Structure 1
């Protein structure tokens, strides 16, 4: 039987040579939890002098590895803000979410994510990635969220996982979206690709073929008009902060499911009469910070429209039928927000009947116009 002081020394040696003592990141290791979880009775059992000492039964569990400097917990591997120049090795294969944002990674190689078949989300935001191997994402059979913003990509990466639902790839250097760029991504629901220097001509015919998107944002780009052949399944389309100058009759004809349309911060002077008739389900329309001189035609016929942003334009008058239909009961939802401030309209000349289909007077925002 070992004396008590010899047993304590042996426990310290076992702890120093256990795998957790070599973990480089600042978190509680397995043995810390194990030792803390032992109450005084458990410790007494470990140190008892009776026959069958607990030291002989003490086993070192098979602990998963964690990349140097990273923090691994509950199948989440956080390796952000470490100055990494490549994807680290020894990522646990049961990882669900891998955070590699705010590093200096320049390239993704073929085997960087090999074996990570359980990965659900991957963040590569704010790196220097300009090159992606065509088979980099092939092992990621179940990945649904990919955050690739603030990098140096010039094209959409190839062979994205068919399971992908959300792709955020804004603030890159993408100038062209080739035909079939999203082939096989039938589950995709959301794409954020704003702040890329892409013109209308940068979208090849068939670029979005096969997609059933709910949400698409192409803001802060170089668009001069509404892109053609976007997915007709869209519920939200955001084209704000572009160079769009007009909305033509056919521009919105295929987007009958839209309930939110963002066209703010463009150069729109004219919206062709009848353009809005193709959006029977629209609930929210953003046309602020443009160059409109009149309220767009067709708003009274939009039965479900509730929010219209028209502030910061050049609108100088509001007609009695600009917003509301004449017939009773034709509008299914009253307006709860109409913004007209920062326009040269003389609000005291606007007839109260112009807002007869507004829920309450606080829903109308005129404000003061200052040239």
Structure 2
């Protein structure tokens, strides 16, 4: 069985509702969806999906504990992760819970597309599933233009572990990818931990723990990664991120130079922004109306009525730098 999955808790409630609605609208209400819980804070989500029989909240505690243990074991091998996390204000494991997306490799779907909660589906995905017949992982992004949010570029080991060609063509954003069940059994997981223990851990980028790990897992295992952004012709491929200002909106879908997007990723935007927006704060950001359309598709009467002056969304300085950097990723 094929399906769509995401990672969430109640902090991203509004984004999850918008994502679920976009999946139903684009693919149909029968499309199966699995939500992997970031933590135990999922009461609102559980109540919402009670009337969505095609959506399940993953409850396999053995699977979740297995991946919790794997993530801890992986990061315990890193020489500087703890120090970097403490400087960033994370006394324990940084963003612990993001790795729960890996439960999809145990989960209910034989083949799946993982989508971050801050994404919206914009187009059909049949071709992506078809390409899984010949590949282990299908991605569609431009992260390969910036490896610094995937691997430690300063590590001398990086090009010893992976060739420059593989680095240029195989790394991907962990916000959207398609793959298959059972790629990482106990033997494979332990093998990866042993590689990390032998010193390869230093190539991991600690501040994006789930992204660097899934890239390492896929690449170190030798699984085939097919990036549509590198394989589609220039007149076919599209961008995917909110940081691209040129997308055209038609009938609540986004187009890039005439081509319909597969998904839009509101990357770098805090969940608090979406929460405040849905509470009626007049915050503006790119493609806001698209988000509101899908968030309130079944509850148009609850669509926020803004009575105050628009306030532009202004990220924190360090986030601004990151988003500006990503502007070059979506041409």
Larger Rg: 1
In which range does the TM-score fall when normalised by the shorter chain? under 0.3
Q: Return the TM-score normalized by structure 1.
A: 0.17
Relative CO higher for 1 or 2, CA cutoff 8 Å, sep ≥ 6?
A: 2
More helix by share: 2
